[in-house]
């Protein structure tokens, strides 16, 4: 067929008309718009019935009430619980991000057993049998005291079960990680006697004198403190913050008093001296001083006169007198202690010196002051049945007074002083100072059992991991133990079926005890932890199960308490940071990070400023005057007496010259790429310094030098 011009045009036009009329074009356009609007890889969350369940957060000692929003069986959002006695509505970022811990990539999904360098999965039955077998051998050898346990706290029924297991096994070696509560008890014991603890009535005080306590940085029960702080303006209350760095608390305070790091104790004693000298103390209250008062009064006039204190602390003598006078003359003053979050290293000299201010102005057990009372005990465990091995072992002395001394003893001794170790809700290989030596000590212990939910730094060193439920999967009593004015016990409730093959640590302990048979098994008569909790907390169970919390004590405690200041009267030496370099590296507590057992969640890490963490580099804060030659955002090498570290520089006018600040809570090394291998763990750099007399690790920072990298 010949294609001439006419037929060519005709065909062409026909084709155009055909395409235009045919539905194919429209169909293809329509399809392509549908295809490009399909993102099958983007999840479509399933809808369902909305319900709310109440629980209590146990990520930190704050114990806030939570409301969990669920879609059918899926929890989708955590918020603060309104009208809860601790937090009344608000919540902190870690609690809100709680669901990220449920599906954390580092979660231990089933019991693990170390074989060489690697973990193997084993069944719960085998794991329990293995642990019980090892423990039975230890008992047979006649050294039950060589079983030790490190837990996060002493309070609560799960900790109670661990203590009970150790006691009936025959070991006195139960240890807790340092926490604000443990320091409050150490302070109360030193000044007021055994079995006491301290709370602070921040919501009512009209003058809060804080010796570095990060009242809005996670100190105490964080949300409760946020609220007390937010209401300050309306109550015409003042907050004076004594700290070597312009922390958020210092920035929010009415006055920031920069002080040389580690000299807070001296400043507090200097203020005591002013109060005594100018007769600003409460005459009635001083009648409660039963030991060392006269000696202390003479000593501080001599050693802590304003001019001398000014020299030590870097605070002007006139300011010391002015602030001491304001404090003494306030209607409801309170001095609070525990630097940062209050769970890092602290010295008893400092804790006692600050609390002596409270005792001198007579605000003990008064509204807006410090509440000193007996530790609340709401649990009633039945008497243990002890056999002769248990009696003999339990009567022996503890290997060390605190956990850091235990670590030291293990490292020093050539023979194993600890044969088996339980670790629950604690991460000593991360949170204790000089984590390298802690790891070494844990490595020396032949049999380590971790009850962690995550394969964290300590769990990685363990021989057996018995994974626990997270706080969203378990029932547990959660006593608030963080310097709150009231004593509240909350009930954590499971809001979701366990995601993995984990067990409640309480159940695991009961199973181990039963497998050990004899008097130990007799002491653990309960079938499950849930049954145990209901029976040991019977006194408050009705209110716990109905309201989700029980208030143990509230309001101003009645009566005066005796004060013994003999420890201070001997003028113990102020603990100095280790090393001879000129600059001091101090740890910074940042609300958006966690420095205790667990790591911050991916969401929390996301909120961290790029002036704290940049890529995998940690950023340190330094005053431009100190950072001679160092550029903002440039790299530098930090040298401690034992180590070096590469850091990024943030020139910060809020740092005291001569001081370098490094945030706590970074530098995790476990298998969660969203939160691990970012920055440095400041605890790796700081070496412990033990305070003589108290035995506490009191190293606030370490001496360093810094140079361009």
Partner 1 sequence: MKQNNNKAHKFGMVIDLDKCTGCGSCMVSCMSENNVPFKEDESNKKDSITWMRVYKLTNGKSFPDTEIVYMPRPCQHCGGKGDHGHSPCVSVCPAVATDYGYDTGIVSQIYTRCFGCRYCMGACPYHARYFNWWDPKWPEGMENYLSPNVSPRMRGVVEKCSFCYHRYQAARDTAYYEGRDDIEEHEYQTACTTACPAGAIVFGDLNNPAHKVHQIVKPDPHPDPRNKHVVGKSRNPKVFRLLERLGTNPKVYYLSEREWVRKQGDNYLDGEWDKIKNHHGAASHG
18-47 binders of partner 1 (CB under 8 A): 37, 39, 41-47
Question: Does 48 contact partner 1 by CB under 8 A?
Answer: yes
Distance CA 680, CA 674 (A): 15
Closest CA to 75 of 98, 44, 107: 98
DSSP annotation of 245 reads B
Q: Which is nearer to partner 1, 223 or 449 (CB)?
A: 223
Element (H, E) at 661: strand 659-663
Question: Does 270 contact partner 1 by CB under 8 A?
Answer: no
Query: How many residues belong to the site for partner 1 (CB under 8 A)?
Result: 75
- Considering only residues 544 through 603, tell me which ones interact with partner 1, judged by CB under 8 A: 591-592, 601-603
Site string for partner 1, 165-184 (x = CB under 8 A): --------------------
Smallest gap from Cβ 492 to partner 1, in A, equals: 18
For partner 1, the binding residue among 54, 105, 260, 705 (CB under 8 A) is: 105
Question: Does 615 contact partner 1 by CB under 8 A?
Answer: yes
> Which of the stretches 90-98, 401-409, 454-462, 526-534 binds partner 1 when contact is defined by CB under 8 A?
90-98
Smallest gap from Cβ 452 to partner 1, in A, equals: 18
Site string for partner 1, 594-613 (x = CB under 8 A): -------xxxxxxxxxxx-x
Residue 248 · residue 217 · CB < 8 Å = yes
Torsion angles phi and psi, residue 196, rounded to 5: -100, 160
Distance CA 190, CA 595 (A): 27
Residue 190 · residue 709 · CB < 8 Å = no
Distance CA 340, CA 449 (A): 31
> Which of the stretches 22-30, 216-224, 569-577, 629-637 binds partner 1 when contact is defined by CB under 8 A?
216-224
Closest CA to 587 of 517, 666, 472: 666
Question: Does 116 contact partner 1 by CB under 8 A?
Answer: no
Distance CA 709, CA 700 (A): 26
- Considering only residues 244 through 263, tell me which ones interact with partner 1, judged by CB under 8 A: 246, 248, 251-252, 256, 258
Question: Does 68 contact partner 1 by CB under 8 A?
Answer: no
> Which of the stretches 14-22, 133-141, 382-390, 620-628 binds partner 1 when contact is defined by CB under 8 A?
620-628
> Which of the stretches 170-178, 319-327, 501-509, 651-659 binds partner 1 when contact is defined by CB under 8 A?
651-659
For partner 1, the binding residue among 56, 60, 97, 586 (CB under 8 A) is: 97
Question: Does 74 contact partner 1 by CB under 8 A?
Answer: yes
> Which of the stretches 181-189, 554-562, 649-657, 685-693 binds partner 1 when contact is defined by CB under 8 A?
649-657
For partner 1, the binding residue among 193, 657, 693, 695 (CB under 8 A) is: 657
Smallest gap from Cβ 674 to partner 1, in A, equals: 6
**Residue 141 contacts by C-beta under 8 Å, 6 or more apart in sequence?**
none
Distance CA 435, CA 429 (A): 5
Distance CA 684, CA 662 (A): 12
Question: Does 498 contact partner 1 by CB under 8 A?
Answer: no
Distance CA 662, CA 701 (A): 10
Question: Considering Cα of 350, then 356, then 358, then 363, what sign does the dihedral take?
Answer: positive
Residue 268 · residue 211 · CB < 8 Å = yes
Question: Does 71 contact partner 1 by CB under 8 A?
Answer: yes
Question: Does 671 contact partner 1 by CB under 8 A?
Answer: no
Residue 369 · residue 357 · CB < 8 Å = no
Distance CA 105, CA 147 (A): 31
């Amino acid at each position: 067929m010949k294609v001439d011009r006419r037929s060519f045009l005709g065909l062409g036009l026909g084709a155009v008309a055909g395409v235009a009329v045919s539905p194919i074009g429209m169909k293809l356009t329509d399809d392509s718009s549908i295809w490009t609007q399909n993102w099958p890889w983007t999840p479509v969350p399933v809808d369902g019935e909305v319900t709310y369940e109440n629980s209590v957060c146990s990520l930190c000692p704050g114990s806030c009430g939570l409301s969990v929003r669920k879609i059918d069986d899926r929890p989708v959002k955590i918020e603060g619980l309104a009208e809860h006695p601790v937090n009344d509505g608000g919540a902190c970022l870690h609690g809100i991000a709680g669901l990220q811990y449920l599906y954390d990539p580092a979660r231990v999904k089933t019991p693990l057993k170390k074989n060489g360098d690697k973990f193997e999965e084993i069944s719960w039955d085998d794991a329990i049998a293995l642990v019980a077998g090892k423990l039975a051998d230890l008992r047979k050898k006649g050294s039950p005291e060589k079983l030790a346990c490190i837990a996060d706290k002493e309070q609560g029924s799960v900790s109670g079960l661990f203590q009970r297991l150790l006691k009936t096994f025959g070991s006195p070696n139960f240890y807790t990680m340092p926490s604000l509560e443990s320091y409050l008890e150490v302070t109360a014991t030193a000044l007021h006697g055994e079995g006491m603890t301290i709370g602070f009535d921040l919501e009512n005080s009209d003058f809060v004198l804080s010796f570095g306590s990060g009242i809005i940085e996670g100190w105490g029960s964080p949300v409760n403190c946020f609220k007390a702080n937010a209401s300050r303006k309306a109550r015409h209350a003042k907050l004076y913050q004594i700290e070597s760095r312009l922390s958020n608390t210092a920035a929010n305070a009415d006055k920031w008093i920069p002080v040389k790091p580690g000299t807070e104790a001296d400043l507090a004693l200097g203020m005591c001296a002013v109060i005594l000298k100018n007769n600003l103390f409460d005459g009635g209250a001083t009648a409660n001083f039963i030991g060392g008062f006269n000696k202390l009064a003479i000593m501080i006039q001599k050693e802590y006169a304003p001019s001398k204190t000014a020299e030590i602390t870097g605070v002007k003598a006139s300011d010391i007198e002015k602030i001491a006078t304001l404090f003494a003359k306030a209607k409801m003053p309170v001095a609070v202690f525990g630097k940062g979050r209050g769970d890092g290293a602290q010295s008893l000299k400092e804790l006692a010196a600050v609390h002596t201010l409270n005792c001198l102005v007579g605000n003990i057990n008064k509204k807006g002051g410090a509440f000193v009372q007996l530790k609340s005990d709401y649990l009633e465990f039945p008497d243990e049945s002890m056999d002769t091995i248990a009696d003999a072992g339990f009567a022996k002395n503890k290997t060390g007074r605190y956990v850091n001394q235990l670590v030291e003893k293990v490292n020093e001794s050539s023979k194993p002083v600890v044969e088996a170790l339980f670790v629950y809700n604690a991460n000593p290989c991360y949170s204790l100072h000089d984590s390298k030596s802690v790891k070494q000590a844990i490595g020396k212990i032949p049999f380590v059992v971790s009850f962690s939910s995550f394969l964290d730094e300590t769990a990685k060193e363990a021989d057996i991991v018995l994974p626990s439920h997270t706080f969203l999967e378990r029932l547990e009593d959660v006593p608030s133990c963080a310097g709150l004015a009231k004593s509240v016990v909350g009930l954590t409730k499971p809001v979701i079926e366990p995601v993995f093959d984990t067990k409640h640590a309480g159940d695991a302990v009961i199973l181990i005890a039963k497998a050990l048979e004899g008097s130990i098994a007799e002491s653990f008569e309960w079938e499950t932890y849930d049954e145990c909790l209901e029976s040991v907390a019977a006194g408050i169970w009705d209110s716990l199960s109905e309201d989700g919390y029980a208030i143990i004590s509230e309001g101003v405690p009645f009566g005066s308490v005796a004060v013994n200041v003999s420890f201070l009267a001997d003028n113990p030496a102020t603990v100095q940071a280790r090393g001879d370099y000129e600059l001091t590296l101090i740890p910074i507590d940042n609300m958006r990070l966690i420095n205790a057992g667990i790591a911050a969640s991916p969401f929390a890490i996301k909120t961290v400023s790029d002036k704290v963490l940049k890529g995998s580099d940690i950023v340190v804060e330094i005053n431009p005057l100190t950072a001679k030659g160092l550029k903002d955002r440039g790299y530098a090498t930090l040298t401690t007496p034992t180590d070096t570290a590469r850091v990024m520089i943030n020139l910060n006018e809020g740092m005291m010259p001569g001081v370098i600040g490094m945030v706590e809570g970074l530098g995790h090394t476990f298998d969660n790429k969203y939160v691990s291998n970012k920055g440095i763990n400041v605890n790796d750099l700081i070496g412990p310094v033990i305070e003589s007399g108290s035995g506490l690790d009191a190293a606030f920072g370490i001496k360093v030098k810094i140079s361009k990298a």
